[in-house]
């Protein structure tokens, strides 16, 4: 575990990895606390006005019974177990059962449609799926296309060919003993978000949870502290929701609030934080930009217990960073990583590692560099590609069924991210953008994040995306797609006002020369804007 320290140098000096040879995620997040304090609250489920609490003892007992029930149905180590459920204790139970079986958990987002589910379940060769009635309806429509899927368990009861979850647990034999897995054994496969092409299954080992702990401690300002309680609106099928919030919280015995909602509502989010006494929140940048539209949040909601907000998924930007300090009195713990190697850069208020516009500094235990195309490290403030050295406990094992893509991801011992950034003289990393999202205009290389963050500071703008549009003179011009806040109407005058707003706050070469108003923007299930769809449509 990373210990608090006054500065980054002290954080690094005081840290060393301690990854045991044998380790199992399911045992760690369920059984370890259940043996000490079986009644300790692990999950607090909020469904409408109903609130229920599930203890670590409950998680252990139910995951053991689910694992036993799946074992007698032929599940063996290495089998893929799909989990298609909204935020709930059942998600953690399903994951823990898979880990204890030595199987591979395959998280699937509730927002996935039939095509996305068919692709992932087929590519993974999943033998088992644990879902609810809504998920089952999607699966029934494609079941004929999933020959490897032998067993479907529905938490809402037996339906058609699906087994009932409660009945399966009730019939399971007693005395389940978890598989004694190695830390390097496969445990979890998360598909990339597909912002730049077809999703790939990133296969992780049990050690991935331990690899996340230093970054988790940094971005969340060193939990656990008395009374800590975690909430994230991110789907627990995403690496951010699962590994930046849920599983590490349970490792530290911090209760997690589960609220199964597929639509982020800013006022409802503040209300939930206040009513459930949330102290730690993990909010993607898109959610934070939407929260900026809520007037006087601290005056309208009791946010006194909220001590830290962390964010990751894409660059946050200085406008949102400054808004949180000004309106909430909080310094956002921004972090960076990828599905393949997550949470390797982070900011941390109490360690003095936080700067507007920066995603922080390397998390102790991870070697992160900014490289030129020839593999040499860049100078201060010189843009280059973010790369992470192997071996690293948080790094993926390989892409599922894609050895060529796995090999292409590496240059020697560097894992290449495809993300462009610069490192300043003080060691802070400033994210510029994905290589294919960068805009080339009149010899300038422009990252979209800074423009989008500035657009979001305009009172009329709810969400925005900036892309490059081909131009015979400048190669590309900046074009912005804007979703307006309620009460504003699209017009040429408003477009000109927004353009002038950005031009005066950034620079003449960065402001959007064209603005298109949209009702919504295409997003991945993780809340990232899919800019390539906007480019292609344009």
The per-residue pLDDT for 199 is 83
pLDDT band at 446 (very low <50, low <70, confident <90, very high): confident
Q: For 244-258, 312-326, 353-367, which range has the lowest pLDDT when averaged over its residues?
A: 312-326
- In the predicted structure, residue 444 carries a pLDDT above the cut 70: no
Chain mean pLDDT for the chain: 92
Q: Which residues contact 59 (CB under 8 A, 6 or more apart)?
A: 29, 30, 34, 42, 43, 89, 92, 93, 96
Task: Determine the average pLDDT of the residues in 338-353.
Answer: 96
The per-residue pLDDT for 262 is 64
Domain with CATH 3.40.50.12780 in the chain: 21-205
- For the 438-537 domain, the top CATH level (class) is alpha beta
pLDDT band at 438 (very low <50, low <70, confident <90, very high): low
Q: Which residues contact 507 (CB under 8 A, 6 or more apart)?
A: none
What percent of the chain lies above the pLDDT cut of 90?
78
The per-residue pLDDT for 436 is 64
CA distance linking residue 13 with residue 303, whole number of Å = 35
The per-residue pLDDT for 530 is 83
pLDDT band at 504 (very low <50, low <70, confident <90, very high): confident
Q: For 11-20, 174-183, 430-439, 480-489, which range has the lowest pLDDT when averaged over its residues?
A: 430-439
Decide which of 263 and 355 is more confident.
Answer: 355
Q: What architecture does CATH give domain 21-205?
A: 3-Layer(aba) Sandwich (3.40)
- In the predicted structure, residue 194 carries a pLDDT above the cut 70: no
Q: What single-letter DSSP state applies at residue 140?
A: H
Task: Determine the average pLDDT of the residues in 96-115.
Answer: 94
- Tell me whether the omega of the peptide bond preceding residue 224 falls within 30 degrees of 0, making it cis: yes
pLDDT band at 528 (very low <50, low <70, confident <90, very high): confident
Please say whether the beta carbons of 292 and 326 come within 8 A: no
The per-residue pLDDT for 322 is 94
Domain with CATH 3.30.300.30 in the chain: 438-537
CA distance linking residue 308 with residue 218, whole number of Å = 11
Please report which residue ranges of 362-477 form alpha helices under DSSP H: 403-408, 448-456
Evaluate the CA torsion angle 533, 264, 220, 192 in order and state its sign: negative
Decide which of 198 and 292 is more confident.
Answer: 292
Q: What's the token pair of residue 379?
A: 């100078």
What count of other Cβ atoms lies within 10 Å of the Cβ of residue 490? 15
Q: What single-letter DSSP state applies at residue 103?
A: -
- In the predicted structure, residue 524 carries a pLDDT above the cut 90: no
Evaluate the CA torsion angle 440, 424, 375, 386 in order and state its sign: negative
Reported as a single tens digit per residue, the pLDDT across 134-161 is 999 999 999 999 999 999 999 999 999 8
């Amino acid at each position: 575990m990373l210990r608090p320290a006054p500065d980054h140098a002290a954080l690094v000096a005081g840290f060393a990895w301690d990854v045991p040879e044998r380790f199992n995620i399911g045992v760690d997040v369920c059984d370890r606390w259940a043996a000490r304090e079986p009644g300790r609250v692990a999950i607090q489920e909020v469904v409408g006005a109903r609130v229920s609490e599930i203890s670590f003892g409950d998680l252990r007992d139910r995951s053991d019974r689910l694992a036993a029930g799946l074992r007698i149905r032929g599940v063996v180590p290495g089998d893929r177990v799909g989990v298609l459920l909204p935020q709930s204790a059942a998600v953690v139970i399903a994951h823990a059962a898979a880990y204890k079986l030595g199987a591979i958990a395959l998280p699937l987002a509730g927002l996935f449609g039939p095509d996305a589910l068919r692709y992932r379940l087929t590519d993974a060769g999943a033998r088992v799926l644990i879902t609810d009635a809504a998920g089952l309806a999607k699966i029934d429509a494609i079941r004929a296309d999933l020959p490897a899927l032998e067993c479907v368990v529905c938490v809402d009861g037996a339906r058609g060919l699906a087994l009932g979850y409660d009945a399966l647990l009730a019939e399971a034999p007693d005395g389940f003993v978890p598989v004694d897995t190695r830390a390097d054994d496969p445990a979890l496969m998360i598909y990339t978000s597909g912002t730049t092409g077809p999703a790939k299954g990133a296969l992780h080992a049990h050690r991935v949870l331990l690899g996340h702990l230093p970054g988790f401690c940094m971005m969340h300002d060193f939990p656990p502290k008395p009374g800590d309680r975690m909430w994230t609106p991110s789907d627990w099928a995403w690496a951010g929701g699962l590994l930046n919030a849920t599983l590490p919280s349970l490792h530290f015995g911090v209760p997690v609030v589960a609220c199964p909602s597929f639509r982020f509502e800013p006022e409802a989010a503040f209300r939930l934080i206040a009513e459930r006494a949330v102290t730690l929140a993990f909010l993607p940048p898109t959610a934070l930009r939407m929260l900026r539209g809520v007037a006087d949040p601290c005056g309208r909601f009791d946010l006194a217990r909220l001590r830290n907000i962390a964010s990751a998924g894409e660059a946050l930007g200085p406008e949102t960073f400054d808004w949180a300090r000004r309106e909430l009195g909080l310094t956002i713990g921004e972090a960076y990583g990828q599905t393949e190697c997550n949470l390797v850069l982070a900011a941390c208020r109490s360690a003095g590692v936080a700067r507007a516009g920066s995603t922080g500094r390397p998390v102790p235990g991870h070697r992160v560099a900014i490289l030129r195309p020839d593999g040499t490290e860049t100078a201060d403030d010189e843009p280059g590609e973010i790369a992470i050295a192997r071996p690293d406990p948080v790094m993926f094992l390989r892409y599922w069924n894609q050895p060529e893509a796995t090999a292409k991801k590496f240059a020697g011992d560097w894992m290449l991210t495809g993300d462009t950034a610069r490192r300043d003289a003080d060691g802070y990393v400033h994210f510029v953008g994905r290589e294919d999202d960068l805009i080339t205009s009149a010899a300038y290389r422009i990252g979209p994040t800074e423009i989008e963050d500035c657009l979001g500071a305009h009172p009329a703008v709810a969400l925005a995306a900036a892309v490059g549009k081909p131009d015979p003179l400048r190669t590309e011009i900046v074009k912005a797609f804007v979703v307006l806040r309620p009460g504003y109407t699209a017009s040429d005058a408003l477009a000109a006002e927004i353009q002038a707003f950005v031009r005066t706050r950034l620079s003449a070469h960065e402001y959007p020369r064209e603005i298109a108003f949209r009702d919504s923007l295409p997003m991945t299930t993780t809340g990232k804007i899919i800019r390539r769809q906007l480019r292609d449509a344009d």
